[in-house]
Amino acid sequence: MRLKRLALAAAGGGLVLVGLAAPSQAGLTTFCDGVAEDVTVPGDLVVRAGDSCDLTNVVITGNATVRADANLTLEGSTVEGALRVNNNGFASTVETEVQGATRLNEAYGVYSEDSSHDRNVVAADSDFFYSLGSSHSRNVNSTNVEVFLESGQVSRGVNSEGGLLTDLYDTVVEGSLSVSGTELGSVVCFSEVDGDATYTGNAGLLQFGGQDPVSDCGYNVFGGDVTLTGNTADAGVTGNVIRGDLTCTDNDPAPVLTDNRVRGEENCDTAAASAFSARSGSIGSAAEKVESRKTEVLTEIEDRADDAEDAAEEAGPAFE
C-alpha cells in the first residue's frame, strides 16, 4: 500500500485550511472524488457510488460515508463523527482516528492500520474487518464478517458470529471474547483476554497457543473462563494460562489439551495428544486454508487500496 503526499490548496467545497477557524455548519455535506491534503472538511463527507477519495492529514468534522462500490483511503487524518461503509464499499485508515462508530453494512471491508476507533466497530454481512496495530476503545461486533486483529487492543469485548474466521495475534481484549459459527474457525496466539472466552459451533480449526498446526503461534493468557461447546473444528489448547474454568462439551472431535495452567476447574471431554497426529491430514488442510485465506485477503486489500489511490489521483483535486 502506497503512502501518498499530494499537496492540494483548498478550493471551494466549503473547505478551509487546517489551522483556520471554521464556524460549525449543521447539515453541510461535502462530496469527495479525488485527492486532498491538509484541509478541514466542515460537516459530513460522502464518497458517491463508484468514486474514490484519497485524503492525507485531513479533519472531517462530521461523519464519513462510503457509498456502494466507492473507496475512501485516509492517512494521518481524523473523522470526528462515524465512519460508514456500505455495499461493496472499501475504507482504509492508516494512522487515523475515528471518533465515532465504525459501521460496515454489506461492505467489501475496512482495513485499519495504526489507527484508533473510539467507539464501537459494528460490521454485518461484509467481507472483512482487518485491524493491524490499531486500538478500539469499545467493542468489536461482527455478524457474517471475517475478522483479523493483530498487535492491537480492544478495551471492551470482541463478539463474532458467522463469517469465515476470527483470528487474534498479539492482541489484548480487556473484556470478553465470543466466537460462534465460523467456517474456518479461529486461531489465537500471543494474546490476552481478560474476560471469558466462549467458542460455539465453529468448524475448521480452533488453535489456542502451541506451535501446531499453525507454527507462528504461542501461549495466551485468559483472565476468565474458557468454554468450547458444540464445535466440529479440530481444536487444540496448548500452553495457555487460564485463570478461570476450562470447560469443553459436545465437541466432535474432542479437543486436545496440552500443558495448560488452569487455575479454576477443568471439565472437558478431551482427545489424547496423539489425536492431532492421527488427524494430521485434515488439520493440516484446515491450517493451510486459514493461512492462505489471510494472505489472499491482505493481497486483495493492497490491490484495492492501490486501485483506489490510482482512481483518486486520476480524478484530480477532490474539492474543486
Chain segment 190-222, per-residue pLDDT in tens: 999 999 999 999 999 999 999 989 888 999 999
Chain segment 38-92, per-residue pLDDT in tens: 999 999 999 999 999 999 999 999 999 999 999 999 999 999 999 999 999 999 9
Task: Please tell me the predicted confidence (pLDDT) of residue 27.
Answer: 65
**pLDDT (mean) for 228-255:** 96
**pTM beyond cutoff 0.95:** no
Say yes or no to pLDDT of 1 above 90: no
Identity at 230, one-letter amino acid code: G
Task: Please tell me the predicted confidence (pLDDT) of residue 294.
Answer: 81
Torsion, Cα 139 196 271 284, to 10 degrees, reads 20
Measured CA to CA in angstroms, residue 219 lies from 11, 57, 214 at distances of 54, 39, 12
Asked whether 229 and 251 are in contact (CB, 8 A), the reply is yes
Say yes or no to pLDDT of 14 above 50: no
Asked whether 66 and 85 are in contact (CB, 8 A), the reply is yes
Chain segment 262-317, per-residue pLDDT in tens: 999 999 987 655 555 455 555 667 677 777 888 899 999 999 999 999 999 999 99
**pLDDT (mean) for 131-137:** 98
- Rounded Cα gap, residues 41 and 61, in angstroms: 6
Identity at 85, one-letter amino acid code: V
Three-class SS string for the chain? CCCCCCCCCCCCCCCEECCCCCCCCCCCEEECCEEEECEEECCEEEECCCCEEEEECCEECCCEEECCCCEEEEECCEECCCEEECCCCEEEEECCEECCCEEEECCCEEEEECCEECCCEEEECCCEEEEECCEECCCEEEECCEEEEECCEECCCEEEECCCEEEEECCEECCCEEEECCCCEEEEECCEECCCEEEECCCCEEEEECCCCCCCCCCCEECCCEEEECCCCEEEEECCEECCCEEEECCCCCCEEECCEECCCEEECCECCHHHHHCHHHHHHHHHHHHHHHHHHHHHHHHHHHHHHHHHHHHCECCC
Task: Please tell me the predicted confidence (pLDDT) of residue 91.
Answer: 98
175-207: buried (b, 16+ CB within 10 Å) or exposed (e) per residue? bbbbbbbbebbbbbbbbbbbbbbbbbbbebbbb
